[in-house]
Amino acid sequence: MAQAQPYERRQALIDAIRQRVCAVCLDRRDDGTCRLQAGRECALEAYLPEIVDVVMSVHSDRMDEYVDAIEARICSRCSSRNAEGACPFRNKGECGLWTYLPLVVDVVED
């Protein structure tokens, strides 16, 4: 069986994350749409291709290494951060990326 090309593999991972993570997200409506406040985009959705790339680049048994990589390459440029660099959504447990990162890592590593 031929191995999937990088783009195809990445797209398959994006689809799998949407299926497995969004299905358990507390911000999901019964119809599958997101119920975040108008004008607010889920960080997981906003950065999904980059998140997949970051997770694929880590290869570790330790979750803190994935956290460090996500913080450095995704959170550091997220528009939700305030002037001091803190994320009010993450601090309140309202960031989908932060909340579901272990599940995202499981999907990619599977």
pLDDT on residue 1: 44
Cβ atoms within 10 Å, residue 41: 13
Distance CA 97, CA 9 (A): 20
Cβ(64)–Cβ(11) below 8 Å: no
| pLDDT tens-digit readout, 30-81 | 887 777 877 788 888 889 899 999 999 998 999 999 999 999 999 998 888 8
Cβ(74)–Cβ(44) below 8 Å: no
pLDDT on residue 4: 57
Helix (H) or strand (E) holding 46: helix 43-46
